[in-house]
Amino acid sequence: MAHPLISRFFDVITAHRKILNLPGSVTGRLTAQWAKIMVFPQVLAPVLIVFGVPAVDVLLIFAARFAAMHIVWLLDHYTPYARALGLCHLVTFGPLFVYFSLEFTAIQANWGSLGSVFVFYYAVIAACLYMDLRDLVLHMVGQPYPAYMRDHHRNGHVTIDDPRVEEPVTVFNRVLW
């Protein structure tokens, strides 16, 4: 049996992959694709050390991902699949993004021929933080459920005892709300 820190990491991936891949939600499918773009390279970041990328940068990326998954695990017990889950990235990758922004040129140069990989990581972190900040604001103004959870509730895949989940899913709120 795996250590709880390891099993929680995989429990989050399994549970969220399952919910995102339920049928009947365009945003669920798109979010599942984004999750692969976001998580997979960050989990494989330690491999970059073999190719000469500075260990500190890689370990910071990996540690932020590892910590974010544990925060999601905790938040899932409080408010599962709600927009507030974006807190996990804001508190883990937020400080990392500030550091990367302040030292962007030096870090990219230190990555050598893999500098473009650093730019990719930086862009993914930036996009993730933007979406998570937007989701947290929406959660705080009373819209806690993303479109895919409202779709899954409407399609009978999940049951959420909150009247806000009944809000209709439109093209507008798939993109912005």
* Domain-wise residue ranges, the chain: 4-175
- pLDDT at position 174 is 62
In terms of average pLDDT, the best of 20-24, 94-98, 149-153 is 94-98
Q: Give Cα separations from 34 to 26, 59, 78, 85 (angstroms).
A: 12, 22, 24, 15
Structure pTM? Answer: 0.87
Q: What is the 3-state secondary structure (H, E, C) of 31-46?
A: HHHHHHHHHHHHHCHH
Cα maximum dimension of the chain:
52
Instruction: Give yes or no for residue 177 having a pLDDT over 60.
Output: no
Q: What mean pLDDT is predicted for residues 74-102?
A: 92
- pLDDT at position 77 is 87
